[in-house]
């Protein structure tokens, strides 16, 4: 992933969604290290002003790192959690396609 593409994709995220996505993608074995570095920089910048991570956010992050959550969990996502989740999944999918 090129830096410009990274910034463009991250630029549409809400601050808290960016913060959640950064946590979801941190040390992800499916994401190349060069992508991870660029994503971490961009997501951290986009996350400025985000509220604190809640206990529920931590459960969503943990579920993301384990794969697809149960439907009952997905139905309870707020907008930031959904956006962060979808972004992390799209990056993993893109990484696997270019793998």
Binned at pLDDT 50, 70 and 90, residue 79 comes out as very high
The better pLDDT of the pair 2, 46 is held by 46
Report d(CA 39, CA 93) in Å as an integer.
15
- Token code pair at residue 77: 């996502």
CA 96 remoteness from chain centre? 16
Look at residues 80, 79, 12, 10 and name the one whose alpha carbon lies nearest to residue 45: 10
Residue spans of the domains in the chain: they are 3-98
Residue 35's pLDDT is what? Answer: 86
Residue 70's pLDDT is what? Answer: 65
Residue 82's pLDDT is what? Answer: 92
Q: Is the pLDDT of residue 55 over 90?
A: yes
Convert the pLDDT of each residue in 27-53 to its tens digit. Answer: 889 889 888 888 999 999 999 999 999
Report d(CA 83, CA 90) in Å as an integer.
11
């Amino acid at each position: 992933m090129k830096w410009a593409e990274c910034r463009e994709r991250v630029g549409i995220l809400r601050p808290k969604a960016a913060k959640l996505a950064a946590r979801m993608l941190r040390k992800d074995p499916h994401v190349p290290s060069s992508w991870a570095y660029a994503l971490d920089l961009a997501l951290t910048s986009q996350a400025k002003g985000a509220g604190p991570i809640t206990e529920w956010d931590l459960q969503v992050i943990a579920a993301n790192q384990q794969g697809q959550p149960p439907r009952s969990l997905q139905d309870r996502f707020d907008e930031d959690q959904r956006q962060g989740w979808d972004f992390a999944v799209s990056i993993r999918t893109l990484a696997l396609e270019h793998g």
